[in-house]
Homo-oligomer: A and B are copies of this chain.
Amino acid sequence: MFASKDGATRDQRTEPAPEGRGEGGEERAALARLLAPRSVAVIGAGRDPRGAGHRVLRNLIDGGFAGPVYPVNPNADQVAGLTCHPSVTAVPGPVDLAVIAVPARYVLDVVRECADAGVAGLVVLTAGFAETGQGSAQRDLLKICRASGMRLVGPNCLGVINTAARLNATFLQGDPTPGRVAVMSQSGAVGAALLQRLPVSSFVSVGNKADVSGNDLLEYWADDDGTDVIALYLESFGNPRKFTRIARRITATKPILMVKSGRSGSGDRAVRSHTAAAATPDVAVDAMVAACGVIRLDSVQELQDAAKLLSTQPLPGGRRVAIVGNSGGPEAMAADACERRGLVVPELPRDLLEGRVSSSAALANPVDLTADADADEIRLAVETVAAADEVDAVLVVYTPPFGSGLERTRQAIAAAARTTGKTVLACVAGHDGLIDGRVPAYAYPEQAIAALARAAEYAEWRARPAELPEPVPGVDAEAARRVVRAELAVRSAGGWLSPEATADLLRCYGLNLVPSVAVGSADEAARAAALVGLPVVLKVTGPVHKSDVGGVRLGLASEDEVRLAYDDMEETIGEEMTGAVVQPMLPGGVEIIVGGLNYPAFGPLVMAGMGGVMADLLADRAFRVPPVSRAAASEMIASLRCAPLLHGYRGAAPAAVDDLLDQIVRVGRLLEDLPEVAELDLNPVIVTPDAATVVDFRVRVAPVDQPPA
């Protein structure tokens, strides 16, 4: 099945080590000291039990942190039974982590003292920095940290947790459940919600992300033996291209689950005002997800549901699900949910269970053992279907209190799960949690199936062949750069390239442009038609929307027809017509759009979609972050609803899809090489059985800012 480890899959590939800050030795070591400290100081630990500092101190003590914990408070002798120190410099030992909970106006002084005391890392809980417009205070804070080599989590955050180190340096109520999920949240409230239902290895509330970012944490958790699954709540990306690079490497061995808010205009408004974060266009986020195997979810609940499964059970070997239980209704709903989520509920052979379970049971799959089924019968049925070749995963549906009751049935499910290497999960009405610490249980069947579908998709991602960088022959990047620079030298703000410059640029990347002759009169048009070969297409040039003004004439079969068409156009369109181009008419093909965009905060995106007049209406489009491998281009095309048109629909000859993929790969390379290309449209690319030919095109260039660090 697709999670097979045979062949060269993502699991086995080695990637070049990523570059950049936080990936080197020293800062990394500082981050490790922050997240797994040997000693902690809590600066601003007051006597008021409702204060954040006090609560951090309590959580550290109650959580059983093994190293020394130092309350720092110049106005108290003792807090929570520990002796206070007047400042961090007065602490009688080295401090790996200082948690800062003093009012905003004191933070910079306290941080300077931490630098003097040789503290390795800071968690600044205090709010009132960039999120309320105090950007300069945050910059000063960061400056001190950078100068001294301290790493900084926050400001404006809830703190950090590391269950392996018994470190709870947050001011949250309640104890975290130890487990194998590392959680990062850009919102305190969402972080708190995530903690409520997830078994965690680490938790970092990053707040304003002044220093330690999601990318830093991803790299840290990539090598953390205690972490099997990484869960992120994001409102913005600091460096999306770096995120992609790091995530692609990690998802080869550990799933990354992500909720990214700010999809909508208003959600976006909320996020911006909330954390002063730069918005990333949502389509770009989805394309990024597709490029690097990150599992994007729409809600915290879905994330919790998927993380619970991925951190406890083996990945499913395929999409085939057996549904076994004591209640037909929820089982039917689970089967419906499978269909919605792209999972398969195969009909099972009758003799698999016949004679082994009660005669009134339905055996086909879903297997409904009826409300009378006791725990032993459920265990037997689960073990039997799990062992069947037809099955990749088993969902056990149990409605209490029927049969043997909740507790005995939970034991039976746990026992059955231990007999198989396949994925087992449960739906137990009204009970959300873990059975035996390793079988995830969900209150509703739809939750279970949604989580399983995510796991199956991730397993497919893992099993895919690694996308190695592919050579793109026939590219003259240097010449292309000259075209772009020439334009920007003349117009520093950029703009649409002339048709000639555009054609030059695209040819540098080996794009297959239709022969096209610019003409300024009817006679020139007729001569050009003879040159490119009849029949031809005549297209107006000038500041008009060609198809709206009758500026495109197809299938002109003789020089006379061309001449007449030109005159006619001139008469209809009038002064706005600056001339026309003559192109050979391509035999009936499929119209595809290939395009590119470069979002300022994000980087390039390649688009492929259906062409023609229906394109606007149907938005049948796929996006990818370059580099776009041939395999990725193929996936883009396969995801289009118009894809069957390319493969010989209703007896037509199959189109030259390989040539189309080649053009998409080349566009990806162009966008990667030339960040000045802000917008690129090949519309349409006509794909005939013989070739994919770019018939119309335009390119806009814009000056490039320095990329973020």
Q: For residue A164, which residues in chain B have a CB less than 8 angstroms away from its CB?
A: none
Inter-chain CA distance A371–B192, complex, in Å, is 12
A336 near B273 with CB under 8 A, answer: no
Which one of A242-250, A255-263, A674-682 contacts B? Answer: A255-263
Chain A 654-694 interface residues, beta-carbon cutoff 8 Å to B: none
A267 near B446 with CB under 8 A, answer: no
Q: Flag A630-670 by CB within 8 Å of B: 1 or 0 each.
A: 00000000000110110001110000000000000000000
Which one of A67-75, A295-303, A306-314, A699-707 contacts B? Answer: A295-303
A274 in the interface, Cβ–Cβ < 8 Å? yes
B298 near A187 with CB under 8 A, answer: no
| Given contacts A196-B429, A368-B273, A329 and B548 within 8 Å (CB-CB) | no
Which residue of B has the minimal Cβ distance to A321?
Answer: B266
Inter-chain CA distance A259–B330, complex, in Å, is 11
A283 in the interface, Cβ–Cβ < 8 Å? no
A188 in the interface, Cβ–Cβ < 8 Å? yes
A23 in the interface, Cβ–Cβ < 8 Å? no
A266 near B430 with CB under 8 A, answer: no
Q: Flag A540-571 by CB within 8 Å of B: 1 or 0 each.
A: 00000001100000000000000000000000
Pick the residue among B264, B323, B332 that contacts A335 (CB under 8 A).
Answer: B264
A190 near B298 with CB under 8 A, answer: no
Which residue of B has the minimal Cβ distance to A370?
Answer: B127
Inter-chain CA distance A331–B264, complex, in Å, is 12
| Given contacts A265-B339, A401-B173, A259 and B333 within 8 Å (CB-CB) | yes
B444 near A299 with CB under 8 A, answer: yes
A contacts with B: majority SS = helix
A332 near B261 with CB under 8 A, answer: yes
Q: For residue A185, which residues in chain B have a CB less than 8 angstroms away from its CB?
A: 329
Which residue of B has the minimal Cβ distance to A399?
Answer: B189
Inter-chain CA distance A189–B370, complex, in Å, is 10
A270 in the interface, Cβ–Cβ < 8 Å? yes
Q: For residue A268, which residues in chain B have a CB less than 8 angstroms away from its CB?
A: 332, 335
Q: Flag A616-640 by CB within 8 Å of B: 1 or 0 each.
A: 0110000000000000000000000
A375 in the interface, Cβ–Cβ < 8 Å? no
Which residue of B has the minimal Cβ distance to A263?
Answer: B336
Size bracket of the A interface: 35 or more
Inter-chain CA distance A192–B328, complex, in Å, is 13
A261 near B299 with CB under 8 A, answer: no
A53 in the interface, Cβ–Cβ < 8 Å? no
Inter-chain CA distance A299–B337, complex, in Å, is 9
Chain A 267-297 interface residues, beta-carbon cutoff 8 Å to B: 267-271, 273-275
A153 in the interface, Cβ–Cβ < 8 Å? no
| Given contacts A298-B340, A329-B188, A401-B173, A335 and B366 within 8 Å (CB-CB) | no
A444 near B300 with CB under 8 A, answer: yes
B264 near A327 with CB under 8 A, answer: no
Pick the residue among B275, B331, B644 that contacts A617 (CB under 8 A).
Answer: B644
Q: Report the minimum CB–CB distance from A591 to chain B (whole Å).
A: 12
A328 near B271 with CB under 8 A, answer: yes
| Given contacts A370-B127, A399-B193, A429-B192, A270 and B444 within 8 Å (CB-CB) | no
11 contacting pairs across A/B (C-beta < 8 A): A173-B401, A189-B327, A189-B371, A189-B402, A190-B327, A235-B332, A262-B332, A267-B332, A270-B362, A298-B340, A299-B337
